[in-house]
Structure 1
Amino acid sequence: MTSVVLSTYARKMDKPRFDLLLWLLDRFAKVMRHLWYKRRRLHLNEDSNLAPFDARQLRFWLATLSPGDLSVNESAAAHPGSLMITSIGSPNDALWSQMERAGWAQQIAGDDPTIAGVAGTYAFTELGAQAVTKAIAELASWNAEILALFKDFESPEHVRQLCRVFSRLTLRTAAQLAITKKETPATDEGRARQHDCILALDEISKGVRMAGQYIMEALAVGHDSEVGRDRLERSTAGLRYAEKCLTEWAAEIRTKQSDSSAPS
């Protein structure tokens, strides 16, 4: 936050509440830095792992899923061998195709010819189910670490929901960046597109962090105050736009991977 904005708050707020705002913003910055450094450590030495799809990549791909898609994976992991059906080209189809190559999932031939080429049926292997369960637990731990930023405040459900969206998109942005950076395009056009994608995701990440800062400001000044409501509206709009952009970029990643894996 700029010194100009802080000085504006200082004039409008009593000292205890302004001190609270400073403390909250400092804590927010420290947690975001901690998560950033943790993410960097997880990205180190990726090239040393010869597996095309490993536990690290699984965690990243799971983090890009919607809550509904993630719950499908969590439920299936609790019952290895249970059948999972999804439309071709969907986020889960892309994930399970990757897991199949790693030996963590099996594609099951369907008996209904009407859905051939439209939907795919998969089942997790025992090892795949274990890997998914572990990855989801790690994501839950990261999510809890972010949500701890807001735990000291009594707030209505819509504010708590906004905090959960912020946490989820923080992880999703980091995951999509990791997936994109791991790609190795073979053409100049592909490398240029990857560069553009990374820049776009970096900007989305900044927007998500700003939305989190707005939530902090709203909690400090009072979520039901005029300034608090303004900050929550800005945060809501920013996170909604970020999710739209992330969904579009994820669809593009899936399309590129589908094209590259298609037989020539």
Structure 2
Amino acid sequence: MSPLITAADLADAGEVTVLDVRFRLTASAGGPTGASLYAEGHIPGAAFCDLDADLAAPPGSGGRHPLPSAESFEEAMRRLGVRAGRMVAVYDDADSTAAARAWWTLRYFGHSDVRVLDGGFRAWTEAGLSVTRETEQPPRGDFTARPGGMPILTADEAGSLAKTGLLLDARAAERYRGEVEPIDPVAGHVPGAVNAPTAANVGPDGRFLTSASLRSRFTGLGAREGVEVGAYCGSGVTAAHEVLALELAGIPAALYVGSWSHWLTDPTRPVATG
């Protein structure tokens, strides 16, 4: 079963819980928020899922987007109408970066049928499908959060994997090299990690590349049978996109949820540049 769904298939899906996960890093600087984009227009029946509040714990020692507790995530998903036996479809603007975090978190906490709208809201509108500004409170769901549905890495495990397997850094190349760091206090990467920016997982339309293309990309970076693979980014959001792309390629991978923002909380952890 593919973790992706097309706009046409979603429109015909029948009983499905749809979550709008649009997100803007620029919101703190006065730019539009995901909630404001949702209010301007969204897929009919979709509920707005706040990445910061619903898909992560508050920032702190665990990083900028640490894993939420099972209790808080369960309550958030029930409020948004998520049910155990019903498919959940998640979407963002186009490239599925934020939607992939929702996909991964739901899968981690035990929901077995989660699909990402390939191409996001852009694909929906380009298909000529209806959009609404009406907000309806979905009936309360019955989802029960059971951690452990997806593999995760601790900081120590990520550092070891960079030496013994393949640890992919999903950030832009200039951040990986340590040339710029617009968010975190120290620039650079986990020593031994291999750069694999998530932007290369999708085409100009925001849709994922074919499974064959993704597999070729990741095998070229060192993924092969018998090699353990993991991914990290700045705060565990774009790295979830990397894990999704790896799944499409048929390559299982673990997520270092705290990622670089957590790595830096311990000043004794090494930092590489270049």
Structure 2 length normalisation: TM-score? Answer: 0.25
Higher strand proportion (structure 1 or 2): 2
Quick check: which has more Rg, 1 or 2? 1
Higher helix proportion (structure 1 or 2): 1
Structure 1 length normalisation: TM-score? Answer: 0.26
